[in-house]
Structure 1
Amino acid sequence: MSDLDALEGWAAPLIAALSPTARRTLLRAVAVDLRRAQQERIARQQNPDGSAYVPRRPQRAERVGRVRRGAMFRRIRQARHLKAKITPDGVQVGYQGRVARIARVHQTGGLDPARPGGPLLRYARRQLLGFSEADRDRLRDRLLAHLAGDGVK
């Protein structure tokens, strides 16, 4: 049993006992916190375990056009792509549409064409979404603060 399963085991009945309005408020705050934590970790170019992302492959010298340098995933870490959603069962933080396909390829280290109709390339595994120890601690603290009556801050 993981730490997250244990946290869910004791928190689920307490959250279920809340009024629907209080539950929605708590879940919305948790979803926003998790999304923000994921965005910050992606900006630091780190996997959930704290290891650095595998760097980009070197570009060919004869490549025409702009050579990409700098941080990866600058655009897909924006809130308009990284969605936080409240469901009756809990919260979801993830991607949708075309961005979800791109994120999935990097999350699992899969094959994908670099351009439409182009050859398939193997992308290195870079975990965009996942729980770190800090995320678990943040989630636990948020739940405890809310249940203790301090409210959601």
Structure 2
Amino acid sequence: MTDDLRALETWADVLLAKLQPGQRRVVTRKIAQELRRSQVRRIASQQAPDGAPYTARKQRKNLRGKKGRVKRQKAAMFEKLRKTKYLLTENDENQLSVGFFEKVVRIARVHQEGLEDKVSKKGPAYRYPARPLLGFSATDQALIRDLLLHHLGRF
């Protein structure tokens, strides 16, 4: 996987070196936006970058539930983390990054790496299973290649 990414980086560096800084900024912004959309779609479908499904949530005990009541639909995992407010892009003419910044970095890191964290402020600690939120898949690499070729084809 890293060899494929290095090959893509080497290939893209040669092509991007031919562009002016303003044109590089435009193409890196477009690639960053599309990568962010790709990551959001993958997180929403609850899949790791390699295509494996996320580990299911632990089943909760229903100690207080009444029989016969209308039950609320369960919220999807990482629903808020997928929002543009938290999953951000940063780019300039030389680099781009898609990731979590500021407040949600700790939460995203715990789930990305499968670390231990407290369930609530004064609650018990729990070791979360690894659910990789960010990463490159083969489709992401193809997306980068296609966007770069499309942009260069206009000149």
Q: Same fold (TM over 0.5)?
A: yes
Within a 5 Å distance, the mapping from 1:22-101 to structure 2 comes to 22-62=23-63, 69-87=74-92, 89-101=94-106
For residues 15 and 95 of structure 2, what CA distance do their matches in structure 1 show? 13
Residue range with higher mean Cα deviation, 69-78 or 32-41: 69-78
Residue identity in the other structure for 2:9: E
Post-superposition offset of 1:16: 2.4
| Percent of residue pairs identical | 43
Cα 1:100–1:68 change in 2 (3 A) is farther
Partner of 1:18: 19
Unaligned runs of 5+ in 1: none
Unaligned runs of 5+ in 2: 66-70
| Structural RMSD (CA) | 1.9
Q: Deviations over 1:76-106 (max 9, x none)?
A: 1011110011045411000112211101000
Cα 1:68–1:98 change in 2 (3 A) is farther
Post-superposition offset of 1:5: 0.6
- SS of the equivalent of 1:104 reads helix
Aligned residue pairs total: 149
- SS of the equivalent of 2:90 reads strand
Post-superposition offset of 1:11: 1.1
Q: Do the aligned partners of 1:59 and 1:67 also contact (CA within 8 Å) in 2? A: no
Q: Do the aligned partners of 2:43 and 2:133 also contact (CA within 8 Å) in 1? A: yes
- SS of the equivalent of 2:84 reads coil
Q: Deviations over 1:52-84 (max 9, x none)?
A: 1111101122268x9882410111101111001
Q: Do the aligned partners of 1:82 and 1:94 also contact (CA within 8 Å) in 2? A: yes
Residue identity in the other structure for 1:13: V
* TM-score normalised by the chain length of structure 1: 0.89
Cα 1:127–1:67 change in 2 (3 A) is farther
